Amino acid sequence: MANITKKVSWSSRADELGAAGEGTPLLNGSEQSRAFRELSEGGNIFQIGRLSTVDLEEEVTSDEDSVKGRPKEIPHNEKLLSLKYESLDYDNIENQLFLEEERRMSHMSFRCLEISRWVICGLIGILTGLIACCIDIIVEKLAGFKYQVVKENIEKFTEVGGLSVSLLLWAVLNSAIVMLGALMVSFIEPVAAGSGIPQIKCYLNGVKVPRVVRLKTLMVKVFGVICSVVGGLAVGKEGPMIHSGSVVAAGVSQGRSTSLKKDFKIFEYFRRDTEKRDFVSAGAAAGVSAAFGAPVGGVLFSLEEGASFWNQMLTWRIFFASMISTFTLNFFLSIYHNNPGDLSNPGLINFGRFENDVRNLDILCFTGGLLGALFNYLNYWLTIFRIRYVHRPYLQVMEAMLVAAVTATVSFTMIYFSTDCQPLDPEHSEEYPLQLFCADGEYNSMATAFFNTPERSVRSLFHNQPGTYNPLTLGLFTLTYFFLACWTYGLAVSAGVFIPSLLIGAAWGRLCGILLATTTDNGSIWADPGKYALIGAAAQLGGIVRMTLSLTVIMVEATGNVTYGLPIMLVLMTAKIVGDYFVEGLYDVHIKLQSVPFLHWEAPATSHWLTAREVMSSPVTCLSRIEKVGTIVDILSNTSTNHNGFPVVVQVTGNEEPAKLCGLILRSQLIVLLKHKVFVELARSRLTQRKLLLKDFRDAYPRFPPIQSIHVSQDERECMMDLTEFMNATPYTVPQDTSLPRVFKLFRALGLRHLVVVDDENRVIGLVTRKDLARYHMGKHGLEELHLAQT
């Protein structure tokens, strides 16, 4: 076997960074970008077999000293993998403490735990629903107020002339509101920017994105999304709900808030990554459910994006959270709308009911994929531009204000020059009909698309009578809104891309419907352009985000008509295939641009000739079962290695061979041990070692202090530490000849963080971590390897 495998000696490299990673969120610029600009221009596509990692790392580390406090830089070279992201540990740490606790627990205690899980899911649903409800009501009130003011102003100046004052008012209002949101996001919590879906995807995948599920993030997110939508940006309030739901879940399930320094002393059992992940899945599902009124879609979203191991009870709980979330939102909205008990309008966005069937969708499918790919491609370059030049907070705020002003100006211009007047229908009245230069009893059709919240515009495009829009209006609207939305996504504001995508798609979908109706004789079949709008919307959204099953279900649930399942699915499938031919989905593009070590579903197809031996990091820093405190402190303080997991070995004294594996211990556990001074002085008996409880580890979770904050005296350095009780005595291992796909499957299916590679005598010879696996990916020319870089 060995003679078949091509042996490639990799340069040794650090595998996982320590707790220092705090402070480098996704989607944020920094000062260090110059170094990476140079790197990317050098064209670092690295075919396996060529060795250039060393040079690269030197180039990177030479600039490392210049890293300053907040906003660090993000490399825009997608052939890099950032070392700054830690991993989450979705495998239970089964050490003696844990096993003893589990063994002490009776059947009844497990029942109680199960019930608390359900209670937590219920709470997640209720809170997420309430947040959605608040956002909806506040946005509606504020936007209503804003549009009313602007409308009155326009009406006033239409008569007396001088509409430029109205334009100015509109632009200034929008910019001011957007500025508030952008200030919060840029200066207080940059991780709250965007829809948060890429971040949640990463979290569920097992990547620790700093501060992503904190209370502060939620606050900024909610405030930010209200500002963005009210500020008239081409954004939706739906995407951020998914992030909000996740934060709620992470908070509720831990029974405490570290930010508020409040510990309710409940749910302590759930204070570990495994359990928290499950609840965050439920939170994300509840978010989708609240946003689109799509509880099943929410569950599928969580599963598609996150979970790798499907568990019936877990799924059922997630579904429960989703249902409760929709129900809560519905219930309170129905009260707000003075119609309590009417639960027929679930979700923040509801497409309204469609009745009949759709046919002849061929063109729409492809267009969706193409336009989606174009959107992603443009946004990709824009994001790179932003990483390079717009990385300082004040620049980000200014860009956001600029976009808000431009959006208002463009909208105003379009409305101003539009001659598409439609008669006011007393039955289907518009929310804010602008008469402008139209005759009395008529309104400006372009204004229904621009002078409105995007949610309402989508519904108008779906449901307005045939003939409400003329083709030119729709064409111009599609064109301008496409570029506006593309420019907007990635700004330092909280905002979702779902609704803008739907709006673009609905516009050109309706346009296609109208054109088809005019070019064919049989007018009756093409009668309703609203259905084309729906299919166009699905195609465009599918082309941009590339979700599959979950998006189909979300669309069907939002439409409220199951018979649209087949066309929507066909459209989404085609859009995905066409789009994937050109560029990845928007979320994946952004994840890649952040150099996140993201693990996909399967190892690259042609990676069978790589084995664990070639993939693993080696040599590994190992600890003895009873180790000197000084050694441990030194190892943890070593910033050049900065490992997070250490195999524990039994070393035969005086033997130079690698030692036999007997366990695995994490940096975080060692930190807790050092903090509590669980030392054995050599002079005394072993009984003096302080008894540490599982509770001590849970109390420290998840914000373990850095090693630098722990003071260890010189005397203490001479003590010993017995790791037996705390290490995971049965870590998963693989032999060194295991093929990469096999290692990958084990790693992914079990949500591992460290996988120990052993030889045939059970001696440690290497360690496989997430970054070792994420490095390999399928490029255009076959298997490629990404560089690891300290960004």
Does position 758 interact with its own copies (CB under 8 A)? The reply is: yes
State which of residues 105, 149, 335, 527 lies at the interface with its own copies (CB under 8 A). Answer: 105
State which of residues 661, 666, 756, 767 lies at the interface with its own copies (CB under 8 A). Answer: 661
User: From the CB of 359, what's the least distance to its own copies, in Å?
Assistant: 8
Does position 563 interact with its own copies (CB under 8 A)? The reply is: yes
User: From the CB of 732, what's the least distance to its own copies, in Å?
Assistant: 7
CA-nearest of 769, 685, 759, 672 to 723 is 672
Residues within window 465-524 making contact with its own copies, judged by CB under 8 A: none
- 764: which strand partners? 758
CB closer to its own copies out of 11 and 109 = 109
Pairwise CA distance, residues 189 & 240, whole Å? 14
Pairwise CA distance, residues 779 & 791, whole Å? 22
CB closer to its own copies out of 42 and 782 = 782
Would you state the torsion angle of the CA atoms of residues 638, 642, 645, 649, taken in this order, to the nearest 10 degrees? -40
CA distances from 734 to 535, 624, 745 (A): 49, 21, 12
Tokens of 459: 């519904």
User: From the CB of 242, what's the least distance to its own copies, in Å?
Assistant: 18
CA distances from 680 to 40, 671, 708 (A): 51, 16, 22
Residues within window 271-300 making contact with its own copies, judged by CB under 8 A: 295-296, 299
CB closer to its own copies out of 314 and 533 = 314
Cα four-point dihedral sign 404, 408, 409, 413: positive
CB atoms within 10 A of CB 154: 24
State which of residues 174, 254, 315, 488 lies at the interface with its own copies (CB under 8 A). Answer: 315
Asked whether the beta carbons of 88 and 753 are under 8 A apart, the reply is: yes
- Number of chain residues interacting with its own copies (CB under 8 A): 85
Which residues lie below 8 Å from residue 728, measured CB to CB, with a gap of 6+?
Answer: 93, 94, 95, 663, 664, 665
CB closer to its own copies out of 392 and 763 = 763
Of 95-103, 190-198, 618-626, 684-692, the window that binds its own copies (rule: CB under 8 A) is 95-103
CB atoms within 10 A of CB 313: 11
Asked whether the beta carbons of 455 and 348 are under 8 A apart, the reply is: yes
**DSSP of 569-585:** HHHHHHHHHHHHHH---
Of 51-59, 132-140, 174-182, 557-565, the window that binds its own copies (rule: CB under 8 A) is 557-565
For residue 658, the 8-state DSSP code is P
User: From the CB of 392, what's the least distance to its own copies, in Å?
Assistant: 38
User: From the CB of 741, what's the least distance to its own copies, in Å?
Assistant: 8
- 785: which strand partners? 776
Residues within window 734-753 making contact with its own copies, judged by CB under 8 A: 734-735, 737-739, 742, 745-746, 749-750
CB atoms within 10 A of CB 586: 27
CB closer to its own copies out of 250 and 323 = 323
Pairwise CA distance, residues 106 & 242, whole Å? 36
Pairwise CA distance, residues 534 & 536, whole Å? 5
Of 91-99, 175-183, 456-464, 585-593, the window that binds its own copies (rule: CB under 8 A) is 91-99
Which helix H or strand E contains 480, and what residues bound it?
helix 471-488
Does position 565 interact with its own copies (CB under 8 A)? The reply is: yes
Of 73-81, 225-233, 565-573, 688-696, the window that binds its own copies (rule: CB under 8 A) is 565-573
Of 16-24, 57-65, 238-246, 759-767, the window that binds its own copies (rule: CB under 8 A) is 759-767
Pairwise CA distance, residues 77 & 595, whole Å? 8
Residue 25 phi, psi (nearest 5): -75, 170
State which of residues 121, 126, 556, 768 lies at the interface with its own copies (CB under 8 A). Answer: 556
Of 104-112, 418-426, 484-492, 682-690, the window that binds its own copies (rule: CB under 8 A) is 104-112
Residue in the structure block whose two tokens are 């409220």: 560
Residue in the structure block whose two tokens are 């641009």: 593
CB closer to its own copies out of 304 and 528 = 304
Of 260-268, 280-288, 338-346, 768-776, the window that binds its own copies (rule: CB under 8 A) is 338-346
Alpha helices by DSSP H, 626-711 = 629-637, 667-675, 694-700
User: From the CB of 121, what's the least distance to its own copies, in Å?
Assistant: 12
- Whether omega for the bond prior to residue 240 falls within 30 degrees of 0, making it cis, is no
Of 230-238, 318-326, 374-382, 685-693, the window that binds its own copies (rule: CB under 8 A) is 318-326
Does position 99 interact with its own copies (CB under 8 A)? The reply is: yes
Pairwise CA distance, residues 236 & 399, whole Å? 19
Does position 8 interact with its own copies (CB under 8 A)? The reply is: no
Alpha helices by DSSP H, 161-214 = 163-183, 197-205
User: From the CB of 560, what's the least distance to its own copies, in Å?
Assistant: 5
Rg of the chain over all Cα atoms, to the nearest angstrom: 28
User: From the CB of 591, what's the least distance to its own copies, in Å?
Assistant: 15
Axis-axis angle for helices 239-254, 215-230 (nearest 10): 160
Of 207-215, 639-647, 666-674, 726-734, the window that binds its own copies (rule: CB under 8 A) is 726-734
Residue 789 CA to its chain's centroid (Å):
22
Which residues lie below 8 Å from residue 635, measured CB to CB, with a gap of 6+?
Answer: 621, 623, 641, 643, 646
CB closer to its own copies out of 312 and 653 = 312
State which of residues 383, 445, 453, 552 lies at the interface with its own copies (CB under 8 A). Answer: 552
User: From the CB of 750, what's the least distance to its own copies, in Å?
Assistant: 6
CB closer to its own copies out of 511 and 664 = 664
Does position 624 interact with its own copies (CB under 8 A)? The reply is: no
User: From the CB of 571, what's the least distance to its own copies, in Å?
Assistant: 12
User: From the CB of 292, what's the least distance to its own copies, in Å?
Assistant: 11
State which of residues 103, 261, 262, 711 lies at the interface with its own copies (CB under 8 A). Answer: 103
Does position 452 interact with its own copies (CB under 8 A)? The reply is: no
Pairwise CA distance, residues 733 & 194, whole Å? 39
Of 178-186, 242-250, 475-483, 551-559, the window that binds its own copies (rule: CB under 8 A) is 551-559
- 208: which strand partners? 86
Pairwise CA distance, residues 587 & 594, whole Å? 11
Axis-axis angle for helices 471-488, 498-519 (nearest 10): 160
State which of residues 257, 308, 470, 624 lies at the interface with its own copies (CB under 8 A). Answer: 308
State which of residues 326, 460, 478, 668 lies at the interface with its own copies (CB under 8 A). Answer: 326
State which of residues 149, 266, 313, 527 lies at the interface with its own copies (CB under 8 A). Answer: 313
User: From the CB of 153, what's the least distance to its own copies, in Å?
Assistant: 41
Of 121-129, 253-261, 302-310, 613-621, the window that binds its own copies (rule: CB under 8 A) is 302-310
Does position 730 interact with its own copies (CB under 8 A)? The reply is: yes
State which of residues 7, 43, 49, 107 lies at the interface with its own copies (CB under 8 A). Answer: 107
State which of residues 1, 160, 683, 687 lies at the interface with its own copies (CB under 8 A). Answer: 1
Residues within window 567-606 making contact with its own copies, judged by CB under 8 A: 569-570, 573, 601-602, 605-606
Residue 636 phi, psi (nearest 5): -65, -30
Does position 51 interact with its own copies (CB under 8 A)? The reply is: no
Asked whether the beta carbons of 51 and 770 are under 8 A apart, the reply is: no
